[in-house]
Structure 1
Amino acid sequence: MSTQAEAQTPVFDIVKQVFSVFLVVAGVFAFYFFSEVSVLYRVIGLLVVALVVLGLMLTTDLGRNIWAFFLESRLEVRKVVWPTREETTRTTMLVFAMVFTVGLILWLLDMALFKGVQLLTGQGG
């Protein structure tokens, strides 16, 4: 009996997902169809449809897996050791200095190549 329940679950999930897509399309259609109604009411209706679809999708295996992924991601973000203000400032200044240095080197190389091409082609006296 558990084998039949496992076999029927994915089909029911697919039906829920297709119905969710239908609800989203119907909600967007209704948003534009009822253009004479206040925008506030249409946006509220669209948000209600979105919440219903979200709730419906969270009852599927895919929705539960995505929700578990988001919860695990939050836990991983909490484990991150964020740099201090001093470290961030020092790193930013180092990046600015390196960008300026590389820019200066490239400018000098460009000027040298430009002068070399002028000499080779006899332009610019």
Structure 2
Amino acid sequence: MADKLKFALALALLVAGVVGFYLLSEQALVLRVLSVLAGVAAGVAVAWFSEPGRRFVGFAREAITETKKVVWPSRKETVQTTGLVFAFVVVMAIFLWLTDKSLEWVLYDLVLGWK
């Protein structure tokens, strides 16, 4: 139950920051943005101390660790793969255009006799 209250309070703080942005419409933009940032910071701080917040932080750390394990392609591999994709798209476009024109010729000229 306490975690639900903490989560509700975190959401309320986040909403308060956004509402503050609109209530301070006559103020400088810096104050309005600081209002939103303060609401986000306060909401994150409260959520941090709830069980779902701790689980999320653990998940985020594991995601960062897994991202570091990824073997990213080199620039050369990326350019080659992109070139192959473009070439395939061009070949498919030509094939579909030829198929369309062939069916158009068969239907309109041969079957229906429209010229």
What is the aligned partner in structure 1 of residue 71 from structure 2? 81
Which residues of structure 1 form unaligned runs of 5+?
Answer: 1-10
What is the aligned partner in structure 2 of residue 121 from structure 1? 112
TM-score by length of 1: 0.83
What is the aligned partner in structure 2 of residue 4 from structure 1? none
Matched, 1:47 2:29: no
- Which moved further from structure 2: 92-101 or 104-113? 92-101
Letter in 1 for 2:78: T
Aligned CA-pair RMSD: 1.3
- Which moved further from structure 2: 29-38 or 83-92? 29-38
Task: Tell me the number of residue pairs that the alignment of Structure 1 and Structure 2 aligns.
Answer: 114
What is the identity percentage for the equivalent residue pairs of Structure 1 and Structure 2? 35
| Structure 1 stretches of at least 4 aligned residues deviating more than 4 Å after TM superposition | none
- Matches of 2:24 and 2:88 in 1, distance apart? 57
What is the aligned partner in structure 2 of residue 69 from structure 1? 59
What is the aligned partner in structure 1 of residue 15 from structure 2? 25
Matched, 1:97 2:76: no
Which residues of structure 2 form unaligned runs of 5+?
Answer: none
